[in-house]
Amino acid sequence: MNWLETLRTGLEAVRTHRLRSTLTVLGILIGIAAVILTVGLGLGAQTTISAQVDALGSNLLIVTPGSTTTGGVRGGLGSASTLTQADAEALADPTVAPDVKAVAPIVQRREDLVAGSTNWTTTIVGTTPDWLSVRARTVSSGRFLTPQDVSDGGAVTVLGSSTATELFGPRDPVGQSVTVNGIPFTVVGVLASAGSSAASNEDDQAVIPISTASARLVGGATAGSVQTIYVQAHGADLISAAYQEIDAELAALHRTTDPTSADYTIATQQSLLSTANSIARTLTVLLGGIAAISLLVGGIGVMNIMLVSVTERLREIGLRKALGATPRAIRRQFLVESSVLGLVGGLLGLGLGVVGALLLPRVISNPVTISPAAAVGALAVAVGIGVAFGVYPASRAARLAPIDALRSE
């Protein structure tokens, strides 16, 4: 029996037992679709994380203060007021940190903005003109803050696109006035949209001069402190050098001799991205392993069906052997049948996975990325399952003696 005849016979056997074959294929279908969607969700999560980290700015280092201890209770990183505007000015000095391109200190808090009869609660960000380039943002209308605004402590603000829409609707906000904590601010510009994530909405904020924020909104003993210092290196290949320069300067300013007792933390985009992607990969592997269990169950189903098929077709096997069929031909016939079941289940599972990747983002608001390598690999695994779990039933059929098979009932 040649390969073409073997394939025709295998397909006919699968077609003859439609219901049984369909149930067997269903197990593999579900397993393949689950694996593809799980891997797709993991890849989509990594893509989203990368986009969110990139949205922070290019070649970025983030300096945050240390923690506080109140009544024996330690606060988290960033809860102290150990970073100051003087620190930011020192880091911006090219003689101190030649690999640093720009520095943007941040002071922020939640406040109510009032425009006429409309009010909206948003994040007020006090910063410097360098914030725009450091955070890789652009202005859609009007202008951004100027050094003069900072030196004068001007009551001017640049609104995020969402904040502008909430306060002014379709009207042009540039030139309009908003009130923050009883202080009138003139809107001088609107930021271009940068999107939002589960953690924050980059379009819902109001940017004001850091001098104005410190004097009029913060005040008190913490007026000169900052919550974050964004530092931009001259290039991606200089981030490590900039990191060392920042660390050395802050250690000198804060009189830190032991790195473990430093009252500040420096994070890079790469470290943030690596940590987030590591978590995403771990979850992907965990969920993928759970999904792979269904593939194992599908493989056991293939073996079970093939064993039943061998039992039901003993007389057919005996007749073929009596007519000269070799054990190799018998084994090949049953392996073809199990491979067909695996291939059909894989193709249908792949199709279901692609459909799920198109529909799921509309439900869960997260992207699902289908990897061509994962799709091809899943198809190969499906066929491999059919072959692997069909070996024993095929070998059992091949070992049957013709006389024993012919006289079975």
- pLDDT tens digit string along 95-146? 988 999 999 999 988 999 999 889 999 999 999 999 998 888 899 999 999 9
Per residue in 274-302, pLDDT tens?
Answer: 766 677 777 777 777 776 777 777 777 77
pLDDT at 175: 92
- Give mean pLDDT in consecutive 10-residue pieces for the chain, a chain of 409 residues: 63 70 80 82 75 66 69 46 86 90 91 91 93 89 93 92 92 92 92 71 90 80 80 84 89 82 79 68 74 73 73 68 72 77 84 86 79 78 77 71 58
Beta partners for residue 66, in sequence order? none
pLDDT at 150: 92
pLDDT at 71: 43
